[in-house]
Amino acid sequence: MADAVTRVLFVCHANIVRSPLAEGVLRHLVEQRGLADRFVIASAGISAYEGVAPDAGSVAVAAAHGINLVSRSRQMTRVDLYDHHHVLVADRPVLAKIRSLTGSAFGEIGGPGKAGARVRLLAQLADPHAQGDALDVADPLRGGPEGYLRVYRQIERACHNLLLELAPRAS
């Protein structure tokens, strides 16, 4: 089963700032490792307008790191929780909304005999010991370029750790 495709979905509020940035970062890391054929990577929002381009600040910080953001916003649906293996959520309010859709807490979505996504906070991949506000990838909209850079670094750490978990390097 090592050759199976792993489906990863990043979710934030509107799918224009954090989740498309995370999608682009993971896609970039996967491509650098030559693993693009082993992953399907997407993003969505719990309150997204369909087809909106990523935020200019996210595009700029990604471009500064050699990453091109190409996705367009889309609304997350309940089906996404069954179509993806891993759902990485930007913050606790978004997670609460997902819980309200599913009636589920952290961990696996689904029920007896039903496969579903492993739903986690993205920031916990960046720092497994995170607590309080550190559990969230903050929305950088009011933080200027420094805010976007902070968020980029947190997302990059999280995506790096996720990739190590999903596709460990051979010893």
Only one residue has tokens 């950088």, namely 140
- Using a 10 angstrom Cβ sphere, with 0-12 exposed, 13-18 middle and 19 or more buried, the burial of residue 54 is buried
SS3 content of the chain, % helix, strand, coil (to 5): 45, 15, 40
Q: Please enumerate in sequence order all residues whose Cβ is within 8 A of that of 24, keeping only pairs 6 or more positions apart, or say none.
A: 54, 62, 67, 68, 69, 70, 71
Architecture of domain 6-166: 3-Layer(aba) Sandwich (3.40)
Q: Measure the N-to-C terminal CA separation of the chain; round to a whole number of Å.
A: 19
What global pTM score does this model have?
Answer: 0.91
The pLDDT of residue 4 is above 90: no
- Are the CB atoms for 123 and 153 separated by under 8 Å? no
Read off the pLDDT of residues 136-165 as tens digits, 9 standing for 90 and up. 999 998 899 999 999 999 999 999 999 999
The residues, ordered by sequence, that sit 6+ positions from 153 with a Cβ below 8 Å of its Cβ are none
Record the tokens describing residue 66, joined without a space. 């050699």
- How confident is the model over 31-51, as pLDDT tens digits? 999 999 999 999 999 999 999
Residues designated as active site: 12, 18, 139
Q: How many Cβ atoms from other residues are within 10 Å of residue 70's Cβ?
A: 12
Asked if 101 contacts 78 with a C-beta cutoff of 8 angstroms, the reply is yes
- Residue 32 confidence (pLDDT): 97
Q: Model confidence over 52-106: pLDDT tens digits?
A: 999 999 999 999 999 999 999 999 999 999 999 999 999 999 999 998 877 665 4
